[in-house]
Structure 1
Amino acid sequence: MNDSFSFHPHRRRALCCGAAAIAGLFTSLAQAEASTPAMPWQAWPAQVADLLHQTFEGLDPVALWDVHTHLLGNGDSGSGCTIHPSMTEGWHPLERLRRAAIMQAAGVPGDALGNGGVDRAYVARLRTLAAGFPPGARWMLFAFDRALDDQARERPDWTTFHVPDAYAQQVAALTPERFGWVASIHPLRPDALDRLARALAGGALAIKWLPSAMSIDLRDRRLSTFYARLAASRTPLIVHCGEEKAVPGAGRNELGNPLLVRAPLQAGVRVIVAHCASLGQALDLDQRRPTSRPAFDLFTRLMDEPEWRDRLLGDASALFQVNRSAKVWRTVLQCADWHPRLLHGSDYPLPGVGPLYSTARLVHEGLLDANDVAPLERLRRHNPLLFDLALKRRVAWRGERLSPLVFDTRWHFESATIGIA
């Protein structure tokens, strides 16, 4: 998940100094369109129906797995989900506003309190949106572990939100034809290997880490056994790289440096870099005197290193948000040799937060036909998941589009697909 947000104490000064700008952004987030019911294809106006047919042309819905879908909640159903207190406390108005915008984008009504209202409304809306897709399309629901410090102590003060593995597994099991699940296990936990074994036995499709928020140094030698288990089981590791603002957690942005993924790659792990590290800066650790460079440039370097071509991938979630540069957009569209290694993901629920996407800017930059704007915007109001997919299928640069291979994602999780119809 990747939008502007910060409550970490180390960033208080920056937050105060930029208060006016941040307040403006969050005011915009709060203006995200209220959720409207998902609509069957036959009910769409002709222009939108045509867009949908173009979107799915040449795609196999059974192979279409969204590899980056957030599962959120506050635990009111007994799920075990938690959110940081700052997101509900009256003296943190920006954090409360951000939470309200995210929940609104996820179709959770403001009065969904108690009796499992928030947890259940979030899942119900996701099911409704998924029903707008052809049979076979699936979403990989993310668990999210708590942050730990270097001494392996849990740090609730660093934990922006927590989604237990057991809850992600439970939600996926209720609708297995639509959902799979991704475990999240901090590798410094004393029982990390036991948790990993249970997750794989329970059908986890991958492991998800957000190093800067969870405080995971990918180079830590204590992770070697965990890496060995991932490599032996052919379990992909989804790692967020680049700047992270939505989930500050431990606030250790230096751990999101894309070059650090060489450690699991060298251990034989298949690594999926979330968002292709397309936001923020990182130190170029390959230099004798490291200087700051766009994190995306460092990811590009890794993608061009031949030794990782069988193990390094990127997910395409959030790539076309307004906070990405036109250079990112053009690079991913033009690098056809990347496309077999790029995986479709939505970063749901963020496609429902209107200000995070600007079809007008994409038109201005020459990546989107102006005639596509109206049907895309209509689609976004009713089904942001369909909008996200349709947008990725329509953007182009100098005649180059994302290959259908980007949306043929199931095969990347072959070892976990046995028994899936």
Structure 2
Amino acid sequence: MSAENIKTAKAQSNADALAGLKILDLSRVLAGPWCGQLLGDLGAEVIKVESLNSGDDTRAWGPPFLEGESAYFLGCNRNKRGITIDFSSADGKSLLAQLIPKFDVVLENFKTGTLEKWGFNQAWFETHAPMVVRCSITGYGSEGPQAGLPGYDFILQAESGLMSISGSENGEPSKYGVAIVDLATGMMAANAIQAALLARYRTGKGQLVEVSLFDTATALLANVGNSHLATGKDSGRYGNGHPTIVPYTTYRCSDGMIALAVGNDGQFAKLAAYLGNPEWANDERFKTNAARVNNRAVLDEHIKNKISRYSSNELINELRKLGIPIGNVNTVKQALASQQTQAKNMVLNVQHQKIGSFKTLGTPLRMHGTPSSIRYAPPLLGEHTDEILSEYLNLNTEDLSELKNKKVIA
């Protein structure tokens, strides 16, 4: 942090963990905004910069809308103040050049080379903003034959192999229900930014951090990718099942569907005994996890027939007493209304200038010494432009009026 920012952070040392950290968020859509929101939840001051007329693309992604504000945008832009600048103009680029050195982090997800085209290459940062950490989120990074192509979560799920391992066993490849590559990339970026900030304490210098959807999607293959590298075999689809753990899938009870995850042989023996077949635990086909994987179809059929006789609540209550992981397969509505969700404050009411009070998902970041908080609702387009430019660049009313007349800001 700059000396001024460190002073601010010390004054707020009992507040949020990242209090005093200043982030200029030039990103839009999901990966970058998700990163900015995570850092904002931890206390960073995040200034979201949007284009003059339409702003972040997700402002138009709906329905649903709340009083004209898209639920999508509202879900990934809290704890930010917002401004608009036209970067296509010389005056807009000048404002950006003045703003960047005032911040600790610049977060952007333009196509590779966009900032450089505007004159903000790494040499510029080293000369004019050497303490700033620049985080660049792109589709494919700056290397390889696809460098420079725009990145979309859906395409990366397809290209990375993630879709090939999702969906029913005999069905088509399927994408995840949310933009998992975007979300994970945002989390990777938040981690990398904080690592670069820690490194800055040692080196006294900022650095360029590159995070790409391609790299993240590939990394998300995790154990499945490593299994291929170990064997040379391609992975198939297992529906709700697990490639290397059995039983680990969904089953239908008499009144609904449950998810069962038996992680070791001890748990399997308890399950077998509860279902009335203790001999399964000594059956050579089932006594070890490796044997159960090799005899997946037979065992799943046995368990399916047994479980169909139970009600879901009965089965869940009894198996949890035995230490066997099990849960209902909820709809989103059921999940967000659950007692556990309420107890964890994972649905919150936020006060918005235009909407009034609206419900939003809570933050998963639990800091017991420096609690995370929601300080700002997602901003209206350009809501804080005058306020921010006055605060950071000391622009007066006359300066702001001139920029508005030139259509540099709104």
Shared fold, TM over 0.5: no
- Rg comparison, structure with higher value: 2
Q: TM-score normalised to the size of structure 2?
A: 0.28
Please report the TM-score for the alignment, with normalisation by the length of structure 1: 0.28
